[in-house]
Chain A
Amino acid sequence: MQDEQGLVRQAQQGDKDAFAELYEAYFDKIYRYVVLKISNRAEAEDMTQQVFLKAYQSIGSFKWKGVPFSAWLFRIAHNQIVDFVRKQSRRPTVRLEESMVSSDDNPLRTVESRFDIERLRLATQQLTAAQQEVISLRFAGGLAIAEVARTMGKSEGAVKALQHSAVAALRKVLLVGEESEKG
């Protein structure tokens, strides 16, 4: 991809193709980020689309102040999810549906991934909000630790510590889940 800063500048000047390139670079990452937090397939797809429509409409307001474009984009996604969860908090959740496919197109793996991501989503709900955010940005969003730090407004050291505690907590939750399934 062309230099991201240059693409953003062009997109801010109305260059649709520059925005299209940013869109292609981040679409899958934003989708995974949303999917980890919203289990309903249709809602997750709608929300992913909304994130990019919102980004396109307000890209003129984005300013480079040490915060990367990815941080801004994930912040939009985060805010949309918070709004959605607030509105839907009393409604029952729906399990993941078949449109989510594993990237290697292996049907067996698709089934496993579908199961695992649902289980992972439930497991991450046992973590603190900050731990959840690190897992979402680092694994679903595919951001490097420095980008996660800037997105969350924390130091890299603090995010590394959060990442460590999040993975350790996740392990405990998954182990407890496995034991209860066996029992």
Chain B
Amino acid sequence: MSRELFKFKGGVHPPEHKTESNGRPIHAAPLPKKLVVPLRQHMGTPAKPAVNVGDRVLKGQLIGTADGYISAAVHASSSGMVTAIDLQQVPHASGLPDLCIMIETDGRDEWIAHGPLDYQAMAPTDLRMQLRDMGIAGLGGAVFPSAVKLDPGAHICPTLIVNGGECEPWITCDDVLMRHHADEILQGVAVMRHLLGSTEILVGIEDNKPEAITAMQAAAQKMDFAVEVVAVPAIYPGGGAKQLIETLTGKQVPSGKLSTDIGIQVFNVGTAYALARAVHHGEPLISRLVTVTGHVLRPQNVEVLIGTPMHMLITLAGDRDGTTGVLMGGPMMGMPMPDMEVPVVKATNCILVQSNELFPPLPKALPCIRCTRCADVCPAELQPQELFRFAKAGDFGRAQEYHLFDCIECGCCSYVCPSHIPLVDFYRYAKSEIWAREKDKRAADLARERHEFRLFRLEREKKEKAEKLAAKAQAKRAEIAAEPTASGAPDAEAKKALIAAALARAQAKKAEIAPKNVDHLPPDTQREIEEIEARRAKIRALARQPLESEEKP
């Protein structure tokens, strides 16, 4: 290998803990009785339910359609009956429930009709749509819909990097996948290359995975295009997309930009494998490889159907006493799970069972002493101690000036902090506060715009009404003026004539609408009416006579 490698700034070397789980063969997890498939498993808009409660679904059947461009579909992981579409606990740090489709499996695991796609004959747009409808999303962690990333659009990506770095301790699912499915990974890469038009394909694998490197190199020999498998030095977070780009090419992704802006696209090996399954077998993304490790008897990698509850996998790997919690992901970036019932989703690369021996609780934090060890290890070249100061004080504007949004939340700063401050938690807090404020600002701008338009509309309506009335009066006046009798008459006379005419019209109208309930009356009613009329006439006559008392003052 002649490729010159580069070194990114910072990084740490936490204990790897990879050998616990990477030696065992891949097993398929047993079929659970109940699958809970969340509709929000990817970045972007959540999928829309496409089935009803009581429907029978087949394995691989679409149950949630992609909603919009940045979205992906979700599918039934096995055959069975849809029993509920409601809020269920999902693997999220908030512990809040989200909309899920619950399927009671029938044990038959019956596939829906499916077959390979002739991707080379398909129009790129159709192929991308197909991949979106097959639910393909990035399996490296961010779960960004792959169809969007495979759209070269305005950016041509001559370099395609396949990320087999897997730098996070404990996790070995990518390592094991590369050892066992290297050929299929590269078949997926061929599809990516077809869509992106990339000319240079690099596979970056950390040098602590020699078996995976050998397997991938052997597979690369068989491909009809050049694939360079590069061993990169093992350092955390060397498998981060931006860090791997820098290691392999020496290029840095500018602040606030995407890797595609410098002509590089990065995909995880798991995504490439899922893509190959989708294109060559017509299988949507309904299962993934999950590392179950930590405080369990048999740490291993399992092929798991999306929607399988996590406790099943922990039982499969042999649960032990003294479990203190479960992380989804590794110890550096993982999220604590609200409970063990939550389902495996597309983002679940690892289930890390914690115990006090393996993960002793963090000692209480001490004040920041500004030792800047965090700045030394920050791979994004930020000043974590400053970001911490601003985030803690709620000075989010300054935090943004210090490039808070370039933070990849890798956790290196928290790892080295001698005061044990949970720094990343502060950055996450600051980021979500900033996003919430931006959302509020957009809502306020919309409200202002709508209010201003309403005021304008009311004003316009008032003006239009006045104009209409004026025009009507004008027309009437012109009509009167046109009449020959009124010609030459002074204004007052014309007005009088106008009033007289209006009165005459009103009289005519009144005469027209004669009361209709007095026709064909029986004689006694007729007599009664006549009596009343006579009384009225008398009263009227009386009223016309001046009162005697008034005559004699």
The answer to whether A and B interact is no
The interface of chain B, by Cβ under 8 A from chain A, is: none
The interface of chain A, by Cβ under 8 A from chain B, is: none
